[in-house]
């Protein structure tokens, strides 16, 4: 409960700054989000380790495990996120995401990705990296889901470089035999978000590791015109950053120190 109070204070303070200053440029909005996420993670005592460097331009794609991914990535660098269009209509959250310059895309709606391309172009022109999650949803981290090609195709059409990253969560302290990073840090399936957040706030020893590729993805000639091929190559680049990320048996384990490893599975949806 104490952590919840501390975090709420930080968030409220950040909202006050957002309302008072109402940042106008994309750089100012990205700066606000960057500082807020840094502060929240510090208050939660979540350790964030970066292996490699966050690209300073172009697009960056990553696996998607939780709403926590946004905080982790934004805490490392000022950037702009691409989000599903439904978020824009959410009370308060929609206003905040709009204020920080989020680019929205409506799944399954013709022309939505092209419209999102305009927003991504504006962010790229402002010198900010654009971040999106090609899986389109979250998982428990045991494997990569299918990558969707719509946004990727728009970025490639702009001629922007695309870099890969991989997020990994682990628990360095014992939080109980039934607590795992895959179930209690990763947010997936039909779980209740508020119950998940409340439990997350009580976790000890939570660590986030983000691995960045050393250079942009080298897509094969013709990939820009072949969306499915580009999506497969992008997925392979993210999967290549995985492998054994701990010294255990590579599975999501209960009790003690627990971690999850990404495997190059071909899951479309995890049960």
Q: What is the CATH number of the domain that holds 27?
A: 3.40.1130
Tokens of 202: 């009580």
- Tell me whether residue 267 is in a domain: no
Tokens of 38: 């840094």
pLDDT of residue 64: 96
Measured CA to CA, the distance from residue 32 to residue 23 in angstroms comes to 8
- Tell me whether residue 264 is in a domain: no
Measured CA to CA, the distance from residue 184 to residue 187 in angstroms comes to 7
Q: What is the DSSP string of 209-269?
A: EEEE-SS---PPTTGGG-HHHHHHHHHHHHHTT-S--SSS-SS---SSSEE--------SS
pLDDT of residue 176: 92
Model confidence pLDDT, tens digit, residues 79-112? 999 988 888 887 767 877 888 889 998 876 656 7
Region of 156 please: left (phi>0), alpha (psi -120 to 50) or beta.
alpha
**For the chain, where are the alpha helices, taking DSSP H only?**
2-21, 26-43, 68-76, 93-99, 112-125, 150-157, 181-184, 193-200, 227-239
Model confidence pLDDT, tens digit, residues 162-179? 999 999 999 999 999 899
- Tell me whether residue 270 is in a domain: no
- Tell me whether residue 36 is in a domain: yes
Residue whose token pair is 């490639």: 156
Instruction: Please give the model's pTM, rounded to 2 decimal places.
Output: 0.84
- Tell me whether residue 193 is in a domain: yes
pLDDT of residue 106: 81
- Tell me whether residue 207 is in a domain: yes
pLDDT of residue 95: 76
Q: Which of 197, 207, 257 is CA-nearest to residue 46?
A: 207
Residues of the chain below pLDDT 70? 1-4, 7, 14-15, 17, 92, 108-111, 243-271
Domain total for the chain?
1
- Tell me whether residue 222 is in a domain: yes
Tokens of 16: 């006050």
For residue 217, the enclosing domain spans 2-259
pLDDT of residue 76: 97
């Amino acid at each position: 409960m104490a952590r919840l109070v501390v975090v709420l204070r930080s968030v409220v303070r950040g909202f006050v700054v957002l309302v008072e200053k109402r940042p106008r440029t994309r750089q100012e909005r990205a700066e606000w989000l960057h500082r807020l996420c840094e502060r929240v993670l510090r208050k939660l005592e979540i350790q964030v380790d970066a292996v490699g460097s966050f690209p300073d331009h172009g697009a960056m794609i990553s696996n998607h495990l939780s709403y926590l991914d946004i905080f982790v990535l934004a805490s490392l660098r000022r950037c702009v996120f691409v989000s599903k269009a439904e978020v824009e209509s959410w009370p308060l959250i929609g206003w905040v995401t709009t204020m920080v310059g989020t680019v929205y895309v409506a799944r399954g709606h013709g022309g939505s990705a092209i419209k999102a391309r305009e927003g991504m172009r504006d962010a790229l022109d402002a010198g900010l990296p654009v971040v999106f999650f090609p899986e389109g949803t979250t998982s428990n981290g045991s494997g990569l889901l299918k990558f969707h090609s719509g946004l990727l195709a728009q970025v490639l059409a702009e001629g922007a470089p695309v870099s890969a990253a991989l997020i990994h969560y682990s628990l360095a302290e014992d939080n109980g035999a039934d607590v795992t990073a895959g179930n209690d840090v990763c947010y997936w399936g039909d779980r209740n978000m508020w119950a998940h957040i409340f439990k997350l706030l009580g976790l000890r020893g939570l660590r986030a590791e983000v691995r960045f590729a050393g250079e942009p993805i080298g897509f094969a000639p013709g990939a820009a015109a072949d969306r499915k091929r580009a999506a497969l190559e992008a997925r392979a680049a993210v999967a290549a950053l995985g492998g054994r990320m701990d010294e255990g048996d590579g599975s999501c384990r209960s009790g003690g120190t627990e971690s999850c490893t990404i495997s190059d599975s071909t899951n479309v949806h995890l049960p």
